Amino acid sequence: MSDLFDKTTDALASSLNFRLIRQNITAANIANAETPGYKAKKIDFEEALEAAIDRAHRVSATVDSSDHFPVGAGPISKVRADIYDNPEGNVSNDGNTVDMEKEMATMAENSILYKAALRLINKKLGLMKYAVTEGGRR
């Protein structure tokens, strides 16, 4: 995002993107629940996003070389999620590791958290709109 938005808005936007990816992965797992040999996938991004938010609160510094670690502005937009085979899945007789109950619970939880983040972004944008349109009126 641009400098117009604060770090909270950037973090919420990144969270929305990752929740969309998680929803797609979970939907793929559910769709392949009866595919022999299918290995359920999982995505973790919360820890990476949290670390990026912590880095964003530190003092900014410039990076002179591509070998240096970026510090300060912009780490939230650089967060990457790891997608991997879910090691917690129980292998069925046909080699499939999808647990439908867990996948459905993950989908429901992810949907709730997606909607919550979306509402928070809408509130922040609504406050900005108010400040621009009504803030100067007396």
Instruction: Name the pTM for this structure.
Output: 0.74
Over residues 88-118, the pLDDT tens digits come to: 878 888 999 999 999 999 999 999 999 999 9
Over residues 65-75, the pLDDT tens digits come to: 665 555 544 56
Domain ranges of the chain: 7-133
Better-predicted residue by pLDDT, 58 or 133: 133
Q: What is the dihedral of CA 66, 75, 14, 88, to 10 degrees?
A: 80
Sorting pLDDT into bands at 50, 70 and 90, what band is 20?
very high
User: Percentage of residues in the chain with pLDDT exceeding 70?
Assistant: 76
- Checking 17-21 for CB contacts under 8 A at 24+ apart, the result is 18/43, 18/45, 18/49, 18/79, 18/81, 19/110, 19/113, 19/114, 19/117, 20/114, 21/45, 21/81, 21/83
Handedness of CA 45, 49, 50, 51 (dihedral sign): positive
Average pLDDT over the chain, rounded to an integer: 82
For residues 36-46, average pLDDT: 90
The pLDDT value given to residue 112? 97
